[in-house]
Each structure stands twice: as structure tokens, then as C-alpha cells.
Amino acid sequence: MAFSEVERAFAKTPNLGFLLVNKYGIVKFINKKFEHVFALERKKYCGAKLNALIGEVAELKTLKSFGYLKNLSRNTSDFVIRKDAKYLRLNISNILESGRDFDGFIVTLSDITHEKELEYKEMEHERMLIAHAKMATMGEMINSISHQQRQPLSSILLSLDNIQECVETGEFKSIKEHIALCKSSVKLMDETIGAFRNFYRNDTKLSTVDLKNIIKELVLITKPQMNAHGILLEFKCEEGDFIINTVASYVKQILISLLANAKDELIDLAHRDMEFEPKIRIELQNCKDEVCIDVSDNGRGVRSDKDKIFEPFFTTKKNTGTGMGLYVARILAVERLKGRLVLKNAKNPTQFSLFLKIL
């Protein structure tokens, strides 16, 4: 094979390092840029084996060997390496004789430091959005806890008043019953606090979790707040296990965001229509190789473009919404959990579905 045309094309390219290797693993051409980046002696490796060059330059060891590169399944592959303070991309592109037979490959070297810096800034921005959204969901949970604790506290106060009355009137036989009610209320408070601690454990590592237990804890914590607004919260689950390998805190954050959106919509609608009976339903079911969590409500539905609801800063809530809830929820579902978050039904009922891979 003649390499002369390829050599001439890259020989004077100022911003691109270039290496040409034949089918026997011999370096047939190396340009000045490539030599400069790795501080190589001029023309030293032209005619040498690629393996010798890989062995000499520490940063090139990621390429392993000529045999390894030759046997890569794809005709083009990228490797990212660090050299001093820069990020460099090595692209390996096979040369195929008659479009079929391996006849060597081209190695191009490009500086992608700016790309990586932008990528890092984007990741940092995403991290901050997730942290902000988590603070918002934490607020939702604290409100739920306050509603949850009011009922047993009121029950305890009432029982204490009854105990005092029993003491004053000499009806000591009834005191035992009121003490039992106090203990029951304290137990409920302890369970709620325990559920809250477990639910909001800040763990972003993959672990084996039972989705059924996660949703039961969520219902336990949020139901009192839903009840306070007259919202019926139901949980339906298929028979069987729902054990998956996932990041539990991200699943919780997504579900809290979906429930908060449904709650806000139903509260607004209930204020407009006194006869309206608001309902939220959570369903857990197996869908082939995925687990599906549906969150549905009987509100007015999605009244805007379905594609826009997952965009940042898009909101239909006047003066209250930030437009980041669903956007962050989808980031968590797709990028962090490798799952899916979709609007399955826009109205009657409004239904969002979270799909996660089964363990």
C-alpha cells in the first residue's frame, strides 16, 4: 500500500498529531506535532515497531500493543489521555484495503482540554441543580413530617388530659387504657422518624434495594400531609419481589418530585371546585426486564407541550414553580440511574412512569 498521499495530507498539519502504522505494526510516518507533544527525538521512531513507541512513552501505554489495537472490534476507536495539564484524544482509524482487508491504521492526536473543561463545568452545573432540587424535596419531607407528628402529639395531649381527670375523680381503672394510647402514639412517632432517617440517608452509591419498602416509607411519611389537604394517596403493588440494583436516594428524589407536582395541582384544583375529590395513585409493577413505578393523579392533566415539560425552567405554576423539578428528575432517571422517566398519559389520569432495570 502507498502511504504518500496520507503522509502529505498530515505532514504539515499544525494542530493535529499524526502517526501512520502499516499492517505489520511498523511506524511508517510520524509528524512533528506528534513528536513534539511526547518529546520524541526527530524521526527516531519512523520505521520502528509501534510496540517500541508504546513502551517508551508512559502516556501511550493505554494503547497496550499493536495486536490489541488491530483486534479492536470497531474500525475507529478513541482513547483519552492526560499529558501534563492537558487532555488529549488519540483516535485509531483502521485502513482497509478494498474496503475489507486490514492494512494498518492512522493514529491522530488532538487537544481536547477545552472540551473537557466545558464538560466539567456542565457536570458541576448539573450537580448544583441536583443539590438544589434535593433541598426542595427535603422541604417537602419536613412539611410531611410536621403533619405526621401533629396527630400523635394531639392524641398524647388528649390522653394526658384524660389521665389527669381520672386521677382527680378517682377513676384509676381507666388510666391504663389512656397510657396504652400514649404508648401507641409514641411508637407511631418513632416509626415515622425512623422512616424519615432511612428515607433520607444521603447515599449516592449503587446498592441492592427493595422498591416496595422505599415506596411504603414514602407513603408513611407523606400521607398525613396529603390527608390534611383532602388528597387520597393509594399504593398498589403486584405480587412478588422488586429487588433492583440502584441508587436509592435518587429514586426517592424522583418520586418526591412527582408527588409534589401532583399534590400542588390537586390542591389548586380543589380550591376551585369544592366537590372535587383529589386522588394520587402509586403503582409498582414488573414490565419485562424493567420495574415500572407509575405516579398518577386525577387533576386537569398536562396542558402544555409534552416535550417541553422536561425542559429546564419550564413551569405552569404561577409565581411558585422553578421549572427544575421534572428536568432534574429526568437527569437522575436517565443519566444517573440509566432508566427512563416518561409522561405515559397526559390526562384522565395524568401519569408519569419511572422505568428501572431489574437486577
Tell me what percent of the residues of the chain surpass a pLDDT of 70: 84
Q: For the residues of 7-34, what is the DSSP string, one character each?
A: HHHHHT-SS-EEEEEETTSBEEEE-HHH
Nearest-angstrom CA–CA distance, 75 and 98: 14
Confidence of residue 1 (pLDDT cuts 50, 70, 90): very low
Position with higher pLDDT, 195 vs 178: 178
Q: For the residues of 178-201, what is the DSSP string, one character each?
A: HHHHHHHHHHHHHHHHHHHHHHT-
Average pLDDT over residues 65-90: 90
> Among 93-102, 210-219, 268-277, 330-339, which is the least confidently predicted range?
93-102
Please report where in the chains the cell 395531649 appears, as a residue.
157
Nearest-angstrom CA–CA distance, 194 and 44: 68
Tell me what percent of the residues of the chain surpass a pLDDT of 90: 34
Domains in the chain with CATH codes: 5-111 (3.30.450.20), 202-358 (3.30.565.10)
Confidence of residue 139 (pLDDT cuts 50, 70, 90): low
pLDDT at residue 190, rounded to an integer:
78
- With CA atoms as reference, report the closest residue to 238 among 220, 256, 212: 212
Average pLDDT over residues 228-248: 90
Position with higher pLDDT, 277 vs 117: 277
